[in-house]
A and B are shown apart, each in its own frame.
Chain A
């Protein structure tokens, strides 16, 4: 059975290929086709998971891919272990939910085949990434994931913003990929293998230590920073909202952003070789969590709020990983995948109903969209980390890991972030669902094909937490004995819960009770508000870098190429023509000049030869 794992990614790929080739001829069937492919993938993944639950061990299977002189043999191989099995399930499950949901959400779009082909390809890439047994293969799927995000974010290519956002996503993540690629090359150079299992062994054997280990780890982490939208490469994710909402759900929950976290987890042994690198990871994670959460507080676009929320939550995961909380990080990834998909689908449902993204244009939708508001509430509670929802357990695990590592500053940041998280998500919830309805935006409930996936996800978001311990234990087996188990603590969950309550209360006061005017707050802390609204001016800084620096530099180079490098060539040509015109003057047309030249030539020749001869004779 495990040997058949390759079928899991292949099914969506085949579906994508079929749909892409048939195109408009299967407009109606496209969604069904791809969804069923993913469904079968999910079934196989589940069987795999069950098998591994019974017998948790690391399985590999490989096929030769290319051989080159110089002792290089690359292979295509699969690595099936608890981590990948878990990820397979979550990826295929979330994908399935989203595809089913999309059947309804995209039912009017004439470009559905393309859409579903992309979605399916996305799923394939992510499944492949999860299964890859070596860094090169992983990088390949990693890039494919990036490609799919590009295609899907820019799905409505006629919208300039969408096209731009897709491009931005691809390029920004590619910036991180650069580090990833260099890291991979460096690993290949240092350890002479790309196989993940062998790498782990090599690292444990102490073949990679010190500064080199840190360099490698940080380069690899650069890839994760890009993909998982960590500071300072997080800027693409909010813009990625220009894609269709289910795509956002997919990107945020199960595929794109998860890839970075997954990669760090997958290569965790490498990272553990460098405590410095782990420290960097944890601080970047923590910083990202906090900054993104604050930015989420001032967004007006429902999807952007969720996007910043994702960035923030990914920061949590990184924070956990950086503090050694391997299982905590992955577990948070799982729960987050469920509830963030849920939140996005719900947001999509709302947008589908009211055709706007601005939360201030919504309001009171709780009355007309009961299911949606209910599942949103579930998602919000999970996100805020309220017992007994899944988020509570995973966030708890993260904070525990942080506390366990002894970094109090990060713990404080984590708790603060929890508070802010709770605030912004309820700000959203109250504004959209409880306030007076905005004029003409009454909304209606979405069809079953959309609500059913939401309900399923809500269910999982609610109950997943209860299996926190076994899942974490199961995941830990991927690392073998190395998994550090965080101890139990009563204080941390309590603190987190209190922080969540504070956030909730604050949001309640401001956006439900309206006891405190949001506008007043914005005016009082205008500098802070400006800072947050402008995303700490990070985007602007990038704009400046790219526009003013890179493009200007490229124009300077183009000028240089045209006028200096090519100018030299044209100069030579000009010189030749001028020489020709000049030499032409020698031919004055006068016989006497010709004869003079003849005689002069003879004279010069005679003098030169005789002088040369005597000079040669004079030599000793």
Chain B
């Protein structure tokens, strides 16, 4: 078992455990924390396939942006006292069974699949990715800026509420 493999299993375990915490914790702060952990673990997993740039972006966006936004949201909704909402509702059992079955199915399908690709074949540099982004994928790249702008403008206008 290579170091990569060890890292993979370790990080996977962390990611899954944190994810469980995310969906099961009673405290919303714990959930935020769990998301940060999952993000980091997944970033680590990305590193195991040498996708350093992706890992970087992931940490930057998830830990740097999403988590911060979530913290702000929790603070803004003034929910310190009631952050410990019941973590789940009465659909839990049904939801659990369904999700479990689905996950088992998907995982089972994946596991039963002949491992067609045995080794990581491609490592891409930031430059390569940048060329792609400005080459064939320039259009989505441009569009995503429109999307972000729209999301920003919209988020502000909605969050600001109805002033008059």
Contact = CB atoms under 8 A, between A and B. Distances in A.
Q: Do chains A and B touch in the complex (CB under 8 A)?
A: yes
Interface of A: 592-593, 596, 599-600, 602-603, 606-607, 610
A501 B95 CA distance: 112
B102 A603 contact: yes
A241 B89 CA distance: 91
B contacts with A: majority SS: helix
A599 B91 contact: no
Nearest to B88: A592
B99 A599 contact: yes
A593 B91 CA distance: 8
Interface of B: 89, 91, 94-95, 98-99, 101-102, 105-106, 109
Contacts of A596: 91, 94-95, 98
B95 A607 contact: no
Contacts, number: 24
Contacts of B101: 603
Given A593-B91, A596-B91, A606 B102 contact: yes
A278 B101 CA distance: 91
Contacts of A603: 98, 101-102, 105
Contacts of A606: 102, 105-106
24 contacts: A592-B89, A592-B91, A592-B95, A593-B91, A596-B91, A596-B94, A596-B95, A596-B98, A599-B95, A599-B98, A599-B99, A599-B102, A600-B98, A602-B102, A603-B98, A603-B101, A603-B102, A603-B105, A606-B102, A606-B105, A606-B106, A607-B105, A610-B105, A610-B109
Contacts of B109: 610
Contacts of B95: 592, 596, 599
Nearest to B94: A596
A593 to B, nearest CB: 7
B108 to A, nearest CB: 10
Nearest to B99: A599
A611 to B, nearest CB: 11
A603 B98 CA distance: 7
A475 to B, nearest CB: 100
A526 B106 CA distance: 103
Contacts of B99: 599
Given A592-B89, A603-B105, A607-B105, 20 more contacts: A592-B91, A592-B95, A596-B91, A596-B94, A596-B95, A596-B98, A599-B95, A599-B98, A599-B99, A599-B102, A600-B98, A602-B102, A603-B98, A603-B101, A603-B102, A606-B102, A606-B105, A606-B106, A610-B105, A610-B109
Nearest to A602: B102
B91 to A, nearest CB: 5
A382 to B, nearest CB: 104
Nearest to A597: B98
Contacts of A593: 91
A616 B39 CA distance: 42
A231 B91 CA distance: 85
Contacts of B89: 592
B131 to A, nearest CB: 37
B85 to A, nearest CB: 13
A599 B101 CA distance: 10
